[in-house]
Structure 1
């Protein structure tokens, strides 16, 4: 029963965190937390392909295609032909995309500070590491 409760609590917490983060991101910069993740990835890896972005975010390519379309329509990223991959599209952050990241940073920093205060600094660090290990484990299981 405890194992099933852990799964339930992870699902519930993930939902609550996503909703709260979306509210803050939308209020600060007019983007969702999922879009924020995509903008961070594009900023960190200029010219990233949609396939690479999907892998980075752990999403299906079809979901990323829709998100990229919304981000292009919003003027936050641009698409261009990839210089080395014939059919791939490279993504880059626009100046508006950079500004959106700058606007949302204080809200995300405050949100992380509030979560750290709610569960304690040590628990926050331990939880972050445990979730990262679970992610690596599942990624390895899927890839292997």
Structure 2
């Protein structure tokens, strides 16, 4: 009989996936999965503010401030004065940040393919959609 403690199973799987993905990201580009998420968000929305980035990533602003400092220090993103928001800082991906994303993409593509194989190709999209619905449910509550 399958273990139906869904929260426990999700938590355990998330931990193992995060550790494995972090290893791959660190090996490929010297970044964590949390930093990868931030880089992708900045790439998708150039000029994003730290507040907007925190919302996008579901993180506290204080955590994002620390992460942004590390990414700036590593030369992966840059800060500039926001053109429309007084006191806001706009974030941009640097050339080094773009190269880091290029280096990590094959490792993450391979990881996704391995997850697809583990879940089953026919269930992969269904699983991703179910997790997105859980995320939307949480946002609505």
State the TM-score, normalizing by the size of structure 1: 0.94
Instruction: Figure out how many residues of one structure are paired with residues of the other and give that number.
Output: 140
Structure 1 runs of 4+ aligned residues shifted over 3 Å read none
What is the CA–CA distance in structure 1 between the aligned matches of 2:117 and 2:102, rounded to whole Å?
24
Give the C-alpha shift of residue 56 in structure 1. 0.5
Q: Which residue of 1 is the match for residue 92 of structure 2? A: 92
Give the C-alpha shift of residue 3 in structure 1. 9.6
The answer on 1:76 being equivalent to 2:76 is yes
Q: Which residue of 2 is the match for residue 42 of structure 1? A: 42
What is the CA–CA distance in structure 2 between the aligned matches of 1:43 and 1:75, rounded to whole Å?
14
The answer on 1:103 being equivalent to 2:103 is yes
What secondary structure sits across from 2:5 in the alignment?
helix
Q: Which residue of 2 is the match for residue 62 of structure 1? A: 62
Gaps of 5+ in 2: none
Q: Which residue of 2 is the match for residue 8 of structure 1? A: 8
State the TM-score, normalizing by the size of structure 2: 0.96
Give the C-alpha shift of residue 4 in structure 1. 7.5
What secondary structure sits across from 1:90 in the alignment?
strand
Gaps of 5+ in 1: none
Give the C-alpha shift of residue 87 in structure 1. 1.4
RMSD: 1.4
What is the CA–CA distance in structure 1 between the aligned matches of 2:33 and 2:70, rounded to whole Å?
14
- Deviation readout 1:40-71 (Å, 9 max, x if unpaired): 00000000000000110111111100100000
What secondary structure sits across from 1:102 in the alignment?
helix
Q: Which residue of 2 is the match for residue 139 of structure 1? A: 139
Q: Which residue of 2 is the match for residue 52 of structure 1? A: 52
What secondary structure sits across from 1:91 in the alignment?
strand
